[in-house]
């Protein structure tokens, strides 16, 4: 058989392989699809009417933050919730704070009881089902806090937690113990202690600023903090951990971009969990960051009923790449009390990783991570591709399940001398 015919047969095989995904992605809701945009605009107008606000208000991140929905009656009016759902929200609110930006609320489809945005944003009675495996602080951050508001788990990098405030309090949050009843930024004393600790430890080259969400801070506060960290000679890079491009993309303003440009190199990690979050507004926020030279990485959390589906994750990662954001991590959900209903099996994560490899470009394949309990660090989880290995040969499995052999130790002419 000639080489062209062999090539055509192989191409046909690959085309058949692509068919299930091509069919599945037509059924997955995308935030940048025309159908979704029409529904979102209608819901946006509805929210604006309830809040007595204007389009200019909507585009102002400070208005979005001030007008987070925190009342179950108003939420019920907008989403058409039942009395039972509203009572459940009120019961949860006695234990765990909740709030949703007007923008993120408008992404919810009231007609879909399984809407992934609703699942991440609206409290459920399931949050009160405690289980013996869950705890308030699975990462043991209280015992990895050597100074100020620092969390340190690794030799060359650490976290500064600068606020407990977020644009939206996600129902799967790993730090719900810190949310409290009101927004509170780190005070000057704790912040100074954190900065001095970094200054005194010259091995620290990578500083992650998170919270809560640091982009809920006033721009002046953020600019001052970045300046103080950047002036430390041994700090090479600064990272921001923020979900505002997802839940309040209005925050990525020209003024914020100017601040970030002054403190390069800065990297920003965010958390898109479903293609429905990839709206024209959030894609615009990612574009502004990329144009400013701020690399964006996405840290998806694997959530039951939201994204524990290989086709959903594949589409999300491809949409992220189109918006110049790199799929970085898939985090297995942590064992936090009140989040039991979001937990998936590790098998789900491995199945997703198996599917991504070979079926999409390498840049669209993140690392699947389990955070070791007790603050012992990230553990990468991979499907098993090595079938057998000895001194001479490695037996490998390809993404299609084909078995191949590869030499282990290289042979050099001198070996035969």
**Residue 79 shares a structural domain with residue 184:** no
**What pTM value is reported for the model?**
0.94
For residues 92 and 210, membership in a common domain is answered with no
Tokens of 404: 């191949």
Is residue 371 predicted with pLDDT exceeding 70?
A: yes
Q: Is the pLDDT of residue 417 over 60?
A: no
Q: How many CB atoms lie within 10 A of CB 180?
A: 11
pLDDT at 337: 87
Supply the pLDDT for residue 272. Answer: 98
Question: Which residue shows structure tokens 């009231």?
Answer: 110
Q: Which of 283, 295, 296 is nearest to 249 (CA)?
A: 283
| Residue 238 located in a structural domain | yes
Q: Is residue 360 part of a domain?
A: yes
Q: Assess whether 114 and 212 both reside in one domain.
A: no
User: Per residue in 112-154, pLDDT tens?
Assistant: 999 999 999 999 999 998 666 678 777 778 889 999 999 999 9
Tokens of 289: 């960051």
Decide: helix, strand or coil at residue 202: coil
Q: Are residues 257 and 363 in the same domain?
A: yes
Mean pLDDT over all residues of the chain? 94
pLDDT at residue 414 in the model: 62
Contact present, 317 and 360 (Cβ < 8 Å):
yes
**Same domain flag for 313 and 253:** yes
Give yes or no for a contact between 373 and 383, defined as CB atoms under 8 angstroms apart. Answer: no
Give residue 92's domain range: 34-123
Q: Are 155 and 198 found together in one domain?
A: yes
Same domain, 272 and 314: yes
Q: Which of 123, 152, 171 is the last residue of a domain?
A: 123
Phi, psi angles (nearest 5°) of residue 300: -70, 145
Q: How many CA atoms lie within 13 A of 272 on its CB side?
A: 35
In a domain, 135, yes or no: no
Nearest to 158 by CA among 166, 173, 148, 172: 148
Q: Please report the pLDDT score of residue 416 as a whole number.
A: 60
186 and 328 both lie in a single domain: yes
The pLDDT value recorded for residue 165 is 95
Of 3-7, 180-184, 289-293, the one with minimum mean pLDDT is: 180-184
User: Do 175 and 43 belong together in one domain?
Assistant: no
pLDDT in tens, 293-304: 999 999 999 999
User: Domain check: are 395 and 248 in the same one?
Assistant: no
Structural domain count, the chain: 3
């Amino acid at each position: 058989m000639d080489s062209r015919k062999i090539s055509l047969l192989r191409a046909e095989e690959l085309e058949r392989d692509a068919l299930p995904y091509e069919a599945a992605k037509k059924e997955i809701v995308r935030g940048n699809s025309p159908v979704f945009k029409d529904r979102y605009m209608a819901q946006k107008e509805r929210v604006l009417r309830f809040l007595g606000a204007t389009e200019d208000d909507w585009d102002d991140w400070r208005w979005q933050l001030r007008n987070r929905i925190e009342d179950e009656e108003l939420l019920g009016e907008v989403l058409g919730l039942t009395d039972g759902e509203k009572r459940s929200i009120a019961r949860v609110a006695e234990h765990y704070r909740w709030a949703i930006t007007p923008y993120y609320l408008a992404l919810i489809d009231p007609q879909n009881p399984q809407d992934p945005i609703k699942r991440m944003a609206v409290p459920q009675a399931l949050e009160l089902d405690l289980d013996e495996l869950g705890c308030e602080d699975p990462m043991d951050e209280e015992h990895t806090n050597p100074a100020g508001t620092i969390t340190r788990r690794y030799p060359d990098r650490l976290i500064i937690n600068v606020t407990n405030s977020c644009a939206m309090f996600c129902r799967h949050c790993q730090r719900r113990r810190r949310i409290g009843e009101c927004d509170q930024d780190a005070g000057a004393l704790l912040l100074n202690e954190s900065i001095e600790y970094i200054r005194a430890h010259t091995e620290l080259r990578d500083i992650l600023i998170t919270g809560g969400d640091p982009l809920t801070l006033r721009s002046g506060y953020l600019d001052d903090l970045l300046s103080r960290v950047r002036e430390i000679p041994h700090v090479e890079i600064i990272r921001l951990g923020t979900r505002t491009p997802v839940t309040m993309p209005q925050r990525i303003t020209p003024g914020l971009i100017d601040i970030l440009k002054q403190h390069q190199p800065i990297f920003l990690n965010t958390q898109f969990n479903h293609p429905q979050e990839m709206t024209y507004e959030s894609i615009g926020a990612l574009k502004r960051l990329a144009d400013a030279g701020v690399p964006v990485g996405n840290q998806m959390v694997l959530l039951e009923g939201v994204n524990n589906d290989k086709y959903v994750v594949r589409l999300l990662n491809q949409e992220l790449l189109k918006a110049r954001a790199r799929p970085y991590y898939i985090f297995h959900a942590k064992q936090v009390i009140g989040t039991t209903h979001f937990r998936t099996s590790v098998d789900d994560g491995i199945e997703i990783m198996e599917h991504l490899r070979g079926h999409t470009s390498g840049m669209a394949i993140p690392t699947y991570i389990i955070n070791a309990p007790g603050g012992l660090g990230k553990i990468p989880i991979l499907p098993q591709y090595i079938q057998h290995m000895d001194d001479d040969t490695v037996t490998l499995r390809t993404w299609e399940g084909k078995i191949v052999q590869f030499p282990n130790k290289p042979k050099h002419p001198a070996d035969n001398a």
